[in-house]
Amino acid sequence: MKKTSQRRNILLALAGLRGALGILAIFLAKFLYEDHFLILTLMRPTKEVFLAGAFLAKQGGEPSLLLKVLLAGLPLSMAGVWLSYLLGRQFSDEIGKEELPGLAGRILPVKKIRQLERVLKKKGPKLIFLGRLAAFPSSVIGAAAGSSDMPSRKFLPADGLGALAAIVEVMTLGYVLGSFFNKDDPATSWTITGVAVAATFGLLFLAGRYLKRE
């Protein structure tokens, strides 16, 4: 019992730290964006950061930044969701009873997790993979996979492949936008870039809505 409590506390502490770093990165982004982008990636390995990294790599004439951002961000992106998977396993009994007070209750949205558990029984790893490609909280899917006792041999490969595909997807977009960006006509270029990014994330949002309906 004591060991279980210790594991739970460690996992909750890691989840809290990750969330705090992600929020802090938003406020520090304007200071880290140009000269310390890898630090920004490590603090907040999300789709918008990967897109910005690829855009910056093309604009700054530093293709190696693409690989650096990918290698730095991909493991952390996967680790965050795998952490949620472990939390779902640790608190599966409480999630099943929908009784999850304290910090765990704030980190793990019980009602959403319970809903996703039912969908996972039908869709399985397919939902985990597609969730990565949509504007959908992959951490909640991870927690649902853990609480529903989905074997790690099914969850980890599906999530890992989905994370890689999602990152390559947005980094390709960022690099393409960087190629078309014209420094001599920044107003037009920023307008086109903004429309393209909004359209892309709009499609990701619609894909997320589809998964929610499923």
pLDDT tens-digit map of 54-101: 888 887 777 788 888 889 899 999 999 999 999 999 998 888 888 887
Q: What percent of the chain has pLDDT over 90?
A: 25
Question: pLDDT band at residue 159, thresholds of 50, 70 and 90?
Answer: very high
Is the pLDDT assigned to residue 157 strictly greater than 90?
yes
Longest dimension (CA), the chain: 65
The domain locations on the chain are: 2-213
Q: How many CB atoms lie within 10 A of CB 166?
A: 22
pTM for this structure? Answer: 0.82
Taking the C-alpha atoms of residue 101 and residue 123, their distance in angstroms, rounded to an integer, is 29
Is the pLDDT assigned to residue 182 strictly greater than 70?
no
Burial class (CB in 10 A: 0-12, 13-18, 19+), 117: buried
